[in-house]
């Protein structure tokens, strides 16, 4: 259960972050929903409150370390404590390797990789200073953190780094009462896939054992479990939530 746990969610305005906000709210967590998209984020906040959760929204660009620090400070200002950080915000991209411009590579690393380090660093230190004994940091990786893809080199690199940061972070923070874990979704029906061609999505369905794409709430149930004390046995690892995608490979 996650009742009364204070948890920050990045990328909470859409997809996996939004569904995780709802699932955490249903069990009585106290939330800071954040996203770069203020309008959609505030709509999620309204629904989270209707579900009975005490919650706030803060507009945050996770690629900017000052904004992630401010987000963590905001959570403690509102709730006087912090138990969880969900480093989930991210962007997708499909560009063939030899057409991938250095500036686009860098943007991907800033948004999908450096952001996770910022979240781990600021939330980890805050929970350590607060003396929290059951803190949890959950990072959203991807099946693409474990395999390569010709059109997603920058995304692959960023997500592989998230898997790695999760391992190092767990080793460093466990002595301070903080677990660090990851989720690695397979292809999941969210806005991030909207740019993908329909034929590609059709073909990808067959790469999942049930023959269809995952739903965002299917990932959110796992995220909620990882934030709960029932998952203490999971630490430093990134849990595959991919309906067998990698088992097929
Ligand atoms: N959908 C999939 O198939 C899939 C698969 C594997 C991993 N993921 C990962 O799941 C996470 C969530 O993605 P999703 O599928 O829910 O997509 P989504 O597009 O529905 O949600 C992503 C959210 O992140 C926000 N965001 C983007 N850039 C940001 C920034 N700089 N600062 C703050 N917020 C920002 C967006 O506004 C959006 O609300 C991402 O890290 C993504 O890489 C998704």
Please write the tens of the pLDDT for every residue from 55-77: 999 999 999 999 999 999 999 99
Closest C-alpha residue for ligand 1 atom 28: 90
Can you give the pLDDT at residue 147? 96
Provide the number of structural domains found in the chain: 1
Residues 6+ apart with CB under 8 A from 77: none
**Rounded distance from Cα 179 to ligand 1 centre (Å):** 22
Which domain CATH number covers 141?
Answer: 3.40.50.720
Query: Any catalytic annotation for residue 121?
Result: no
Q: State the pLDDT confidence band at 22, using cuts at 50, 70 and 90.
A: very high
Global pTM exceeds 0.95: yes
Within-domain flag for 105: yes
- Does 16 contact ligand 1 (Cβ within 6 A)? yes
Tens of pLDDT, residue by residue over 173-203, are 999 999 999 999 999 999 999 988 999 999 9
In this prediction, residues 90-115 reach a mean pLDDT of: 96
**Rounded distance from Cα 131 to ligand 1 centre (Å):** 31
**Rounded distance from Cα 49 to ligand 1 centre (Å):** 22
Within-domain flag for 202: no
Closest C-alpha residue for ligand 1 atom 42: 90
Q: Residue 93's domain spans which residues?
A: 6-192+216-241
């Amino acid at each position: 259960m996650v009742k009364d746990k204070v948890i920050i969610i990045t990328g909470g305005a859409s997809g996996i972050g939004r569904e995780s906000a709802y699932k955490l709210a249903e069990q009585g967590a106290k939330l800071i929903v954040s996203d770069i998209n203020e309008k959609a984020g505030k709509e999620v906040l309204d629904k989270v409150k209707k579900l009975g959760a005490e919650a706030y929204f803060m507009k945050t660009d996770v690629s900017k370390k000052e904004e992630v620090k401010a987000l963590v400070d905001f959570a403690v200002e509102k709730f006087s404590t912090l138990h969880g950080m969900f480093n989930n915000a991210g962007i997708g991209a499909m560009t063939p390797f030899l057409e991938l411009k250095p500036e686009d590579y860098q943007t991907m690393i800033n948004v999908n990789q450096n952001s996770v380090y910022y979240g781990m660093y600021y939330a980890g230190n805050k929970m350590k200073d607060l003396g929290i004994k059951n803190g949890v940091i959950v990072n959203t990786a991807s099946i693409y953190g474990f395999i390569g893809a010709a059109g997603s080199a920058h995304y692959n690199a960023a997500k592989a780094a998230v898997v790695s940061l999760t391992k190092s972070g767990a080793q460093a923070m466990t002595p301070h009462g903080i677990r660090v874990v990851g989720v690695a979704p397979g292809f999941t029906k969210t806005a991030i896939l909207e740019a993908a061609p329909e034929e590609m999505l059709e073909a990808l369905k067959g790469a999942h054992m049930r023959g269809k794409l995952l739903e965002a709430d299917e990932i959110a149930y796992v995220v909620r479990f990882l934030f709960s004390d029932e998952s203490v046995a999971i630490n430093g690892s990134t849990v595959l939530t991919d309906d067998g995608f990698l088992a097929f490979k």
